[in-house]
Amino acid sequence: MGLTVVVDTSVFVSALIGTAGASRQVLRACLERRCRPAMGEKLFLEYESVLQRPTVVRDSPLSAPEREKLLDAFLSVCQWIPVFYLWRPNVPDEGDNHVVELAVAAGAEVIVAQNVRDFRGGELRFPQLEILTAAQFAMRVR
C-alpha cells in the first residue's frame, strides 16, 4: 500500500476549494490506496471543523453533502491511530503539535502540509519523518 502519511488539514482544505492541483492529487493517492493515511482523534475533529468554515463553504465548488461524502471516503481509507503519549515537539505553531504526535504514533514516513515551515524547527526532532508539500508528495506517489 505504500507510505504511511499524515495529511494536514491545510491540504484537505486546498483540495476542497481548488479545482485542480497537488492537494487533490494527494487525496486521490490516498483514495486509490497508493499511500496509507493515518487519522487520530484531534486531526479528525479538525477536519470536521474545516468543513464548517465560511471560506470553505463559500469557495468550494462542492455542496455540503458532497464535502461530507468526500470526507467520509477519505476517512474510510485512513488507519485510525490512538495517540497515547504526547511528545510535545513544540513546533512553531502549537496547534500543529498533534499532527507530529499522530505521525510518530502511526510510524508515518511523511507529513503532507501546505506550509512545511510550520512543522520545522521544533525542539524534539524525528529524523525518520519527512515534511513535504502536497506538490512534493504528489511527485513521489505518481
Above 60 in pLDDT, residue 40?
yes
Domain 4-140: CATH superfamily is 5'-nuclease (3.40.50.1010)
Give the pLDDT of residue 117. 76
User: What pLDDT score does 108 carry?
Assistant: 95
Cell numbers of 117, please? Answer: 515551515
- pLDDT tens digits along 2-17: 899 999 999 999 999 9
Top-confidence residue, 1 or 100 = 100
Picking from 27-36, 64-73, 82-91, which range would have the lowest pLDDT averaged per residue? Answer: 82-91
Whether 136 shows a pLDDT value over 90: the answer reads: yes
How far apart CA 58 and CA 44 sit, in angstroms, is: 22
- In 3D, which of 51, 34, 46 has the Cα closest to residue 101? 46
Residue whose C-alpha is closest to residue 108's, from 30, 14, 32? 30
What is the Cα–Cα distance from 23 to 128, expressed in whole angstroms?
23
4: part of which helix (H) or strand (E)?
Answer: strand 4-7
pTM of the model: 0.90
